Structure 1
C-alpha cells in the first residue's frame, strides 16, 4: 500500500521590502552624500553666505549709508524750506543739494525722498520734464505722499499741454482714496477732461466726487461743475 504524500513544502518568505529597511535607507543616504558631498557642501555654504551677506549688508553697509544720507540731505531741505529751489537742487559748494544726495545715496530712504523733493524743485523752476522724471523715480508706500507725487506729475503734464497724460496721473492720484487728496486731484482730472472737450468723461469724474466725497470742499461745490455741463438735480 503506497502512501500518497502531499507536498507540504512551505513557500519561501517574501524578501524583506528594502524600501522600508531603515538601515538600508541610511546606507543609501550615506552613499549618496559620499558621492555628492562636494556639491552638497557648496550648496549649504552658498545659503550661509547669502544669509550672512544679507544681514552683514544691512548692518555694515545699508544702515551707515542711511545715516550719512540723512545728514547729507539736511542742508538741501533747509534750502527747500526757504524756497531756494536752485540751491536745494544743486547745493552751494559746501552743502549737498538733492541731486548730489540722489547720485551718492539714491538707494536709501533719504535718497528716495530727495527724488521727490528734486521733482518739486524742477516743477517750481518750470523745468517740467525733469520734474516728471524725478517724481516718477520716487515711490512711497504712504498713499497720501504717493498721491501728491502723482498729482504733481499731472500738473507738470498740463503745463506741457499733454492733457491725456495729465488726466492719467490725476486719476492715479485720486485713486489713493483718501479725503485729503483724492477729491482735489479728481476735480483736476475733470477740469482737464473739460479742456480736452470730453464732457461725458468729466461728468463721470464729477459724479465720483459727488458720491464718494460729499463732505469735502470739492464735494460741496461739485454741483456747479455738473450744472455747467448740463447735469442738474
Structure 2
C-alpha cells in the first residue's frame, strides 16, 4: 500500500490569503478593461438601434427595391423577353423565306425584288430591317443582321453588306466564319485587297471546319499571292494540303503551290 506523506506546507483552502498589491491592481485593471469593453459594446448596440430606428424607412425602402428589381427581372424574362424572342423568330421565318425564294429564282429582276422584300418586308410581314429594329436584343434580331448583310451582298450593295455583317454577333462557328468570309468578299469587290485578306484570315481562324476553312485558306492564298506575299500564300496553300487533303480545294492545290514556288 502506498503511503502519502502529509504536506504540512500546503496552504489551507479555507483560509483567506491576501493577494499581493500588484496582483490586486492587475485584477482591478482587467475588470475595469472588461467593463469598458462591455460598455462600448452596449453603447455601439444602442447607437446601431438608434440608427436603424432613424433610417428604418430607408432600409425598408432599399429592401423593397431589391425585391422589386428581382421580381421585375423575372417578370421581364417571362412576359417580355420570352414572347419577344418567339415573335421575332416567327417574323424571321418569313423574311428568310423571301430570301430563300430569291436564291432559287432564275430571273435576275425577280431575284433582286425578292432580296429587297427580305430586307424591307412585304405582304404584311416584316423584313430583316424591321426585325432588327423592333426586336432589338433578341437572337432573331442578330440573325437578321446576317440575313440583311447577305441580301445586300446579292444586290451588289457592298458597303451595306459590310456594315450589317460586321454588326452580326458571330458566336456560332459556321455563321461566324461565313460572316467574316463574306466581308472579305465584299472588300474584294470594292478592290480593297488588304481588308479582304484580313477578313479571309479572320474567317479561317474563327473555327476549323472541313468545308469552310479550306475555302478561306485558298482565298487568302490567292489574295496574298496577288499582293506579292508569296511566303504567306504558300503557307495557306500548304495548310490545305496537309490539314484538308480530302477537300475540294485540295484537288488543285499542288498547281497553286507550283505557281508560287516558281
Q: What TM bracket, shorter-length normalisation? A: 0.7 to 0.9
TM-score by length of 2: 0.76
Q: How many residues align?
A: 226
Equivalent residue for 1:152, pick from 182, 193, 198 = 182
Conservation of the 8 A alpha-carbon contact between 2:95 and 2:126? yes
Equivalent residue for 1:169, pick from 193, 199, 210 = 199
Q: How big is the shift at 1:31?
A: 4.2
187 and 25 in structure 1: CA distance in 2 versus 1, 3 angstrom threshold: farther
210 and 41 in structure 1: CA distance in 2 versus 1, 3 angstrom threshold: farther
Q: What is aligned with 1:80? A: 99
Q: How big is the shift at 1:216?
A: 2.6
Three-state SS of the structure 2 residue aligned to 1:82 is: helix
Matched, 1:124 2:136: no
Bigger radius of gyration among the two: 2
Matched, 1:66 2:96: no
Q: What is aligned with 1:214? A: 245
**Aligned counterparts of 1:65 and 1:7: Cα–Cα separation in 2:** 84
Deviations 1:86-124 (A, max 9, x none): 221122252222122222123211111111111111000
Q: What is aligned with 1:3? A: none
Q: What is aligned with 1:51? A: 70
18 and 187 in structure 1: CA distance in 2 versus 1, 3 angstrom threshold: farther
18 and 212 in structure 1: CA distance in 2 versus 1, 3 angstrom threshold: farther
Conservation of the 8 A alpha-carbon contact between 2:215 and 2:249? yes
Residue correspondence of structure 1 range 86-105 to structure 2 within 5 A: 86-105=116-135
Equivalent residue for 2:259, pick from 218, 221, 228 = 228
Three-state SS of the structure 1 residue aligned to 2:209 is: coil
Q: How big is the shift at 1:85?
A: 1.1
24 and 183 in structure 1: CA distance in 2 versus 1, 3 angstrom threshold: farther
State the Cα RMSD in Å.
Answer: 2.7
Name stretches of at least 5 consecutive residues in structure 1 with no aligned partner.
Answer: 1-5
TM-score by length of 1: 0.84
Name stretches of at least 5 consecutive residues in structure 2 with no aligned partner.
Answer: 1-17, 103-113
Segment of structure 1 superposing worse, 162-171 or 43-52 = 43-52
Q: How big is the shift at 1:13?
A: 4.5
Q: How big is the shift at 1:130?
A: 0.6
Q: How big is the shift at 1:51?
A: 1.9
32 and 177 in structure 1: CA distance in 2 versus 1, 3 angstrom threshold: farther
Segment of structure 1 superposing worse, 125-134 or 199-208 = 199-208
